[in-house]
Amino acid sequence: MTHKNLGDPVLVEASGGVCALTLNRPATHNPLTRDMLEGLLAGLDGAEKDSLTQVVVIAGSGASFCAGVGAETLREQHASLRPSNFGDELRKYFHPIIRQIRRMEKPVVASVNGPAAGAGAALALACDVKVCSTAARFVPGLIQVGLAPDCSLAQMLIRGMGYSLAIEHVWTAKPITARQAEHFGLVNAVVPSGELGTAVRDLVDKLLDAPPRAVALTKRLFNRALVNDVDSQLDYEAHIQEALGKTRDHREGVAAFLEGRSPEFTGE
């Protein structure tokens, strides 16, 4: 088990095949400051490279998941009286995190304990699986400061809600409650606040029990399915199945099925 200092902007705890990354500025609702973004990217990189880590969990400390850019950053930008180059900020600090979550072949689970605003909403929705407490809500917010959605939030909302509801949500800054998000298929489950940790742990345990290579290649296959045409997807699925059919875990899974027992996967 490894821990980072409790004063760090992102707490990192790795144990039992799980790397938990916790945004750790609860007094200011966990804003995505540069040190937070750098800590989060470093944590994701470390989890991807760690052979013992099978699942990554991203959570927020305190009452919020993530405030997005946050009030303090906006205050500093406003006081500078200089136009902000948001494009450079996004390319350097925000985009690498979204890309890393989508690209890495280990499951990334969002544990959404409270409000997720702007880029914080995008961070949560970019994760593979989202488990929310009833206190969670997704707030676009950016229209209120004269900006548009970023960090691929528009794409994620359209895929879940459809164009009309998604653009209304952004234009009117109308929050999406946890229950609405579940209804739209934006998140996987909503539970009472006191049960969030248990619900996330139950899901993680199922992922840990699954064959790691098949989990990884399934994520790769699903990412391709978002952009492939039918013929390309069929070809890619055949390629994936050919690779997985040669693994020891496939043979173990078949043997366990035929013998009526639980499989013991090793990732080989």
Mean pLDDT value across the chain: 90
DSSP 37-103: HHHHHHHHHHHHH-TT--EEEEEESTT-SB-TT-HHHHHHHHHHTS---HHHHIIIIIHHHHHHHHH
Reported as a single tens digit per residue, the pLDDT across 34-56 is 999 999 999 999 999 999 999 99
What pTM does this model have? 0.90
Rounded (5°) CA angle 217-222-228: 115
Tokens of 259: 């013998």
For residue 4, which phi and psi values (nearest 5 degrees)?
A: -100, 160
Cβ atoms of 40 and 97 closer than 8 Å: yes
| pLDDT band at 194; cut points 50, 70, 90 | very high
| pLDDT above 90 coverage of the chain, percent | 75
CA dihedral 112, 116, 121, 126 (to 10 degrees): -20
6: pLDDT strictly greater than 80: no
Rounded Cα distance between 113 and 66, Å, is 9
pLDDT digits 0-9 by tens, 202-248: 999 999 999 999 999 999 999 999 999 999 999 999 999 999 999 99
